[in-house]
Structure formats: C-alpha cells, structure tokens
Amino acid sequence: MTTPNPGQPDPWPGSPQYSSEPPQQPGPYPQYPTPPGQYPMPPAAPERRPVPADVTTAFQLWFAVIALGVVYLVAALMFVHSDRATFVDQLMDELAKQQPGLEVSRSEVDQLLTLGLVGTGVVLALVLGGLTVLFAFKMRKGRNWARMVLTMAGVFTVFSAIPTVFGAGAATGTAALVMGGAGILQAVVAVGAIVLMHRKESNAYFLNLPAGPAR
C-alpha cells in the first residue's frame, strides 16, 4: 500500500505505509586487494635448448643419404630393366610350371615386369625415404630413440656397401657403375652423420645433460 498524499485522510487507518519511491540498490561490494603470493603462479615452461651444430649437420647429411638412396634405387631398376629378357624368360618358365594351361605372350610378361619394377621403385622410395625424413626431424628435435634408429640404419647401409667396395659380384654397364658409386657415397655420408650424432655436444643434447663450459 502506498503512502497517501499530504493533506488527504488515510483511507486505511492502522495499515502499514510504504513509500512510493523505488527502492535503492545496494552499492558495489568493496574490492579487497589480493595479497601477493596467495595464489602460486604456474611453473614456467622449460627453456628449449639450442640445437648443436653437429646435430644440424647430421640432419642435413641424412637428406644426402636419402638422395643417394634414390639414385641407387633408380640405377638398380634400370639395371634390371636392361637385362629384362633374362627375367622375362624366368617368369615365363615359372608360369608354365605353375599353370601349364595358361597362355601368356612374351610382351604381356614384359609389360608386367616393367610395371612391377616401377611400382616397386615408387613404393620403396616413398616408404624408406619418408621414414628417414621423419626420423631425421625427430632426431633434430632431440629424440634419442630417433638417433638410435638412424644409427642402425646407417650401420646397415655401411655393411651393404662393403661388397661393392671390395668388388664382390661386380657387374658391368653404366647402371651398375652408378649403383656402385651411389652405394659407396651413401655409406660414407651415413658414417659422417653417425659420428656427428654421437659427439660430446650431441650426446649432451640427446640425453638432456647440462651444457658444458664454453670453449
């Protein structure tokens, strides 16, 4: 019930009187300063250590290993394709033994062999090259397991090139010479990358050891 105007009698005597003015809103709550140190700050992110120069050089050498591997693979496919007549004869003999009633012309077998060589080369280049690139990037980021994988791959490359160095099973022709040269160079570059990945500064980087005094 509202308050009657001044000078007018109260039509409801004894009843509570209410003001016609709108109620006032309470003022803003007081702001209290937060005591310093009451809420602990989150720990700062660890500072990223710089990549040693030896690791960067090893990273670049692994790309050279990939490029030489592609050259070796192309030369090997060319070598097989240059002597495809022998492989076609072998395939036709195998087909005749396994499926005597199957009639396949020599040209069809030749095309099948060519497609198989191209497909094999593309798959090997993509798979092996892609994995090596992935491991190289992980190695540069300081992943020790990637360094170990690349080390084992490099050792395998070196042992694969040993017969070529000593002339075991040497073949003639341009493709064979390219294969031998690419294989030897690939092994040499892989050895260089392995050595750089296992030097003192590199070990400290991969094992997260404290940096030594500047020299």
53 band by pLDDT with thresholds 50, 70 and 90: very high
What's the pLDDT at 1? 52
What's the pLDDT at 52? 92
pLDDT tens digits for 108-166? Answer: 777 887 788 888 888 988 999 999 999 999 999 999 999 999 999 999 999 988 887 77
What's the pLDDT at 212? 55
What's the pLDDT at 147? 95
What's the pLDDT at 214? 45
Is the model's pLDDT at 3 over the cut of 80? no
Nearest 5°: CA angle at 170, between 164 and 171?
Answer: 130
pLDDT tens digits for 4-41? Answer: 555 556 556 655 555 555 566 555 555 555 555 555 55
| CA end-to-end span of the chain | 92
Residue 65, helix vs strand vs coil: helix
Q: Which of 34, 37, 4 is nearest to 19 (CA)?
A: 4
What's the pLDDT at 95? 74
pLDDT tens digits for 168-198? Answer: 555 667 888 888 889 999 999 999 999 999 9
What's the pLDDT at 43? 57
What's the pLDDT at 15? 59
Whether residue 4 contacts residue 10, with contact meaning beta carbons closer than 8 Å, is answered with: yes
Neighbours of 161 (CB within 10 A): 21
The whole-angstrom separation of Cα 61 and Cα 42 is 40
What's the pLDDT at 108? 78
pLDDT tens digits for 62-116? Answer: 999 999 999 998 888 888 777 777 777 777 777 777 777 777 777 777 788 778 8
42 band by pLDDT with thresholds 50, 70 and 90: low
Residue 21, helix vs strand vs coil: coil
pTM, full prediction: 0.67
